[in-house]
């Protein structure tokens, strides 16, 4: 599904360059729920932004479903972000002047669907994340957990191949965090949604199939999670 080969991301040039990613390689299969972990500055968010086509790599290759997305022109990247990739931001990134439904159905409208169809899709997506009856509320009228679930609904409404989530529970308490992770888990198990989630919290790994750990811009470990524990694969 996702193939990353020797991916590098440097900020600046020469000796002053900050090397956020120093050449990482891995693969993620369809339907996997993967957690990317590591200390702050280890390169996990940088990786996620590159894979979601929000940023460019300095070197290396990455393909999604065999397509070398790194070389796509901006217009196609924009279309790819719209149709193939869902992204859940740490701080929800909702449009404050739009209702929950509008925040979700704007993407369907962008895809060319009618307003009626877009609205129906949005209601379905909101229902999937447990927000029935709250479609008319604006972000300020929702709790942190609800906002994040709207953000997830926005990401899943277009039924993307892959969903990226950048510390989706960073601003949430444990109860709300569990609600969000339950939604992810359900999407993964029920709809075979591929999910790549950056997180700091060790307890989040209970929900995932695999944990990739970064350290100083390099891949430190890649563990498959089982109910009994984890299978450890050192890089």
- 87, 119, 207, 214: which one contacts other proteins (CB under 8 A)? 87
Query: Which CB, 82 or 220, lies closer to other proteins?
Result: 82
Question: Does 72 sit near other proteins (CB under 8 A)?
Answer: no
Least Å distance, CB 64 to other proteins, is: 15
Least Å distance, CB 167 to other proteins, is: 14
Strands 194-198 and 33-38 turn out to be parallel
Question: Does 170 sit near other proteins (CB under 8 A)?
Answer: no
- DSSP element (H, E) containing 81: helix 74-83
Query: Which CB, 72 or 220, lies closer to other proteins?
Result: 72
Where are the strands (E) in the chain, listed by range? 2-11, 18-28, 33-38, 59-64, 67-68, 85-88, 162-166, 194-198, 210-215, 218-225, 230-234
> Structure tokens of 28?
């993620």
Question: Does 141 sit near other proteins (CB under 8 A)?
Answer: no
Least Å distance, CB 199 to other proteins, is: 19
Least Å distance, CB 118 to other proteins, is: 10
Question: Does 10 sit near other proteins (CB under 8 A)?
Answer: no
Within 114-228, residue ranges assigned H as helices are 115-128, 144-157, 174-191
**Three-class DSSP category at 229:** coil
- 1, 72, 98, 170: which one contacts other proteins (CB under 8 A)? 98
Question: Does 17 sit near other proteins (CB under 8 A)?
Answer: no
**Three-class DSSP category at 170:** coil
Query: Which CB, 20 or 169, lies closer to other proteins?
Result: 20
Least Å distance, CB 209 to other proteins, is: 26
Question: Does 106 sit near other proteins (CB under 8 A)?
Answer: yes
Least Å distance, CB 119 to other proteins, is: 11
Q: For residue 115, count CB atoms less than 10 angstroms from its CB and return exposed for 0-12, middle for 13-18, buried for 19 or more.
A: exposed
Q: Which residue has the tokens 């209970």?
A: 206
- 55, 186, 216, 222: which one contacts other proteins (CB under 8 A)? 55
Q: What is the rounded CA–CA span in Å between residue 191 and residue 141?
A: 29
- What CA dihedral angle connects 120, 126, 131 and 136, to 10 degrees? -50
Contact positions vs other proteins (CB under 8 A)? 49, 52, 54-55, 75, 78-83, 85, 87, 89, 93-99, 102, 106-107, 109-112, 115, 138, 154
């Amino acid at each position: 599904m996702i193939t990353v080969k020797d991916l590098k991301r440097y900020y600046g040039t020469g000796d002053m360059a900050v090397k956020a990613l120093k050449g990482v390689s891995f693969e993620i299969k369809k339907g996997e729920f993967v957690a990317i972990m590591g200390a702050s500055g280890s390169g996990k968010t940088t990786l996620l932004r590159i894979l979601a086509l929000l940023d460019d790599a300095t070197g290396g290759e990455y393909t999604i479903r065999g397509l070398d997305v790194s070389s796509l022109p901006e217009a196609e990247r924009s279309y790819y972000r719209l149709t193939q990739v869902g992204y859940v931001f740490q701080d929800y990134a909702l449009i404050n002047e739009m209702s929950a439904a509008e925040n979700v159905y704007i993407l369907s409208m962008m895809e060319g669907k009618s307003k009626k169809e877009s609205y129906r899709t949005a209601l379905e997506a909101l229902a999937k994340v447990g927000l029935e009856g709250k479609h008319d509320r604006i972000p300020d009228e929702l709790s942190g957990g609800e906002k994040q679930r709207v953000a997830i609904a926005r990401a899943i409404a277009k039924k993307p191949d892959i969903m990226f989530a950048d510390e989706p529970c960073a601003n949430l308490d444990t109860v709300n965090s569990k609600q969000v992770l339950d939604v992810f888990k359900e999407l993964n198990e029920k709809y075979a949604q591929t999910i790549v989630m950056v997180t700091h919290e060790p307890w989040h790994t209970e929900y995932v199939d695999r944990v990739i750990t970064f350290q100083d811009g390099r891949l430190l470990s890649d563990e498959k999670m089982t109910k009994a524990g984890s299978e450890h694969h050192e890089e």
